[in-house]
Amino acid sequence: MAARDDILTRAQIDDALAGLPDWRYRLGGLVTVYKTPTAASALELIAAVGRVAEDMDHHPDLDWRYNRVFIRFSSHDVGGEVTTRDTRAAASVSEAASAAGGEAQPGLYRSVDIGIDTADAAAISEVWRVALGYRKGRFGDLVDPYGRGPGVWFQETPTPNDNRLHLDVHRSKAESATVLEKTAATGALMNSDHAPNWVVVTDAQGNRLCLCTEEGQGPDIAGSEGN
């Protein structure tokens, strides 16, 4: 079990990731995707990850899609942050993936949150939490305890947007340029005032989404969860 003083700062996470090229930082966790030659070899990799998890008594969120395995490590016992247990586990999984013929494709790992504009988050958050079966997260947001549904966070503002709900699509900065270019090519309005942290995209009917990166996020960065 990790202690609060085991939580890594964003600078420490970045230092660790310099030696973990297969992995990216994402909203309190380390994430990656491995592509294997076949579905059978993906199952072999999953078994290897399971052995690592049991040996270290630290278990990831894992999703299998044919010959790709999506993996996320986070220390839930300290509120969903990155600790040294996560970096050690990520290093061990990278070794197992290499032995299984896995190819790292971390750019495929994207996360989606729902942002809600509101003048009073406390007045509505419990409705969303109960209806979704979620729990409270790191910064007053709501998270699926099983890691399957999108997160929900509340953007408090005295002037909520007419379209109060928007999506935050999180990708790694290293892989974000292509998506930004392709989205701009659709004719959407692109507001890059806060880039590279996030770019606000507005479609022709006024609906918004944000294309976000890990910049400006971390346990030691105030307000890192929203935009």
Instruction: Please report the pLDDT score of residue 2 as a whole number.
Output: 62
Distance between CA atoms of residues 48 and 140, nearest Å? 35
Q: Please, how many CA atoms are within 13 Å of residue 58, restricted to the half-sphere of its CB?
A: 26
User: Which tens digits make up the pLDDT trace of 37-76?
Assistant: 999 999 999 999 999 999 999 999 999 999 999 999 999 8
Instruction: Determine the pLDDT at residue 220.
Output: 75
What residues does each domain of the chain span? 4-108, 111-212
Q: Model's pTM, two decimal places?
A: 0.90
Residues 6+ apart with CB under 8 A from 50: none
Residue 114's pLDDT is 98
Above pLDDT 90, what percent of the chain?
86
Pairing status of strand 111-118 against strand 135-136: unpaired
CATH code matching the domain that covers 4-108, chosen among 3.30.1360.20, 1.10.287.3510, 3.40.50.720, 3.40.50.1110: 3.30.1360.20
**Contact at 8 Å (CB) between 155 and 226?**
yes
- What are the φ/ψ torsions at residue 69 (nearest 5 degrees)? -125, 120
Single out the residue of 19, 15, 151 nearest to residue 80, CA to CA: 151
Whether residue 126 is predicted with pLDDT greater than 80 in this model: the reply is yes
Express each pLDDT in 169-210 by its tens digit: 999 999 999 999 999 999 999 999 999 999 999 999 999 999
Backbone angles phi, psi at 171, to 5 degrees: -130, 165
At residue 138, what are phi and psi to the nearest 5 degrees? Answer: -70, -35
Pick the CATH number of 111-212 from 3.40.50.2300, 3.40.50.1110, 3.50.50.60, 3.10.180.10: 3.10.180.10
Residue 1 has pLDDT above 90, yes or no: no
Instruction: Judge whether residue 136 has pLDDT over 60.
Output: yes
Query: What is the pLDDT confidence band of residue 218, given thresholds at 50, 70 and 90?
Result: confident
> What is the pLDDT at residue 225?
45
Q: How far apart are CA 110 and CA 82, in angstroms?
A: 18
Q: Supply the pLDDT for residue 3.
A: 60
CB-CB neighbours of 23 under 10 Å:
27
Banded pLDDT at 93 (limits 50, 70, 90): very high
Q: Phi, psi (5° rounding) for residue 200?
A: -85, 125
